Structure formats: C-alpha cells, structure tokens
Amino acid sequence: MKYVFDLHKTMLAHNLILVYEGEFTQEITKSILAMAERNMDAIGESSGVKRKVFNVMVECLQNIVKHAEDLNERGEDGLRNNAIFLLGKSVSQYLINSGNPVRNESIEFISSKIDQVNALDKEGLKELYKEVIKKGEISEKGGAGLGFIDMARKSGQKLEYSFEPINDEFSFFSLQITVPREE
C-alpha cells in the first residue's frame, strides 16, 4: 500500500492535479475535460487561460484517441495500448502531458512535424495553419495535421517531446505543452 502514498507524494511534488492512465475513448475524453474544467473553475482561473488549456487538452486527447497504436491486438510483450494524460499546475503555468505508444516507423514523421511547428514564430504558425486548412488533406486516421500547430498557437510555447523505446516495433511518445497562467 506504500505505493499509493508514494504516488500521492509524486503528484504533489510535480503539481499534478489530474492523471489518467488507461484506454482512451471519446467518453473518457469528455470526462477528463469536465474534471479539468471543474478544477479550474474551483480555483477561479481566468476564462482566457481556461480556454487555452481546454483547447490544448482537446487536441492532445484527440491525438491519443486517433493515433495511439493498438498493442492489444498484437499481444506483444504483454503490452497494451494504454496511454497517459497528466495536467499539472504551478503558480505561473499549466503543464499538459500525454504519452502513448507509436510505431517506430512513425517517429521520424512525428518528429519532423513537431520540429517544423517549433521552428515557427506566431506569424509563421498562422500561415502554416492556413496552408494546412487550404490543402485539406486528411490522413487515414482522420487527422489533417492541425493538432500540433493548434497546440503551439494556443499555448504560445514550443512543444516538448520524446520517444522511449518499448521494443523493436514500438516506442512511447511523450508530449508536453506549457500554457502560461497570465493572459
């Protein structure tokens, strides 16, 4: 039972106010968003900051639902397609973290998209957003590539990411977005 206390201490140390690990569905996503909204309302967060955090959370959670690889069907190494979502709050910012398995062959593509977004300033992001909307190309998983652009635009910050190898076929993709608490 000590692990519960250890987890509690870790959450306090990292200012985590919401953590969910497991399967992500549209219903679970709605519940996570509702909990986050109640939490921000309870502390009297400004509507502008709430809107930015909420928008980034929606994009992050949609990415998990649409793009997490299903390890369940494969039964490899006893791995499941569980993903994780964390929301943390400090005096000056919110930290939105997500993680999910991805195929190793997707790493270069994902990295290049995020690096492209991170290389742009506010105006460059606006132009890239317009360009992607105009092209309107939808991937086989239902995405148009706007998620990373939108997260960077809403947060006004660079996106941080990493890939941790799981096995020869999959890695765990972690993404962190920071949203300043001042408008």
* pLDDT, average across residues 62-66: 85
What are the structural domain ranges in the chain? 2-180
| pTM as predicted | 0.87
Q: Is the domain 2-180 a CATH 3.30.70.260 member?
A: no
Percentage of residues in the chain having pLDDT higher than 70: 86
Burial class (CB in 10 A: 0-12, 13-18, 19+), 27: exposed
At 69, the pLDDT band (50, 70, 90 cuts) reads low
Residues pairing with 87 in the sheet: 18, 96
What does the pLDDT read at residue 70? 58
At 23, the pLDDT band (50, 70, 90 cuts) reads confident
pLDDT above 60 (res 40): yes
pLDDT tens-digit map of 102-148? 999 999 999 999 999 999 999 999 999 998 888 776 555 555 568 99
Phi, psi of 74 (to 5 degrees): -80, -30
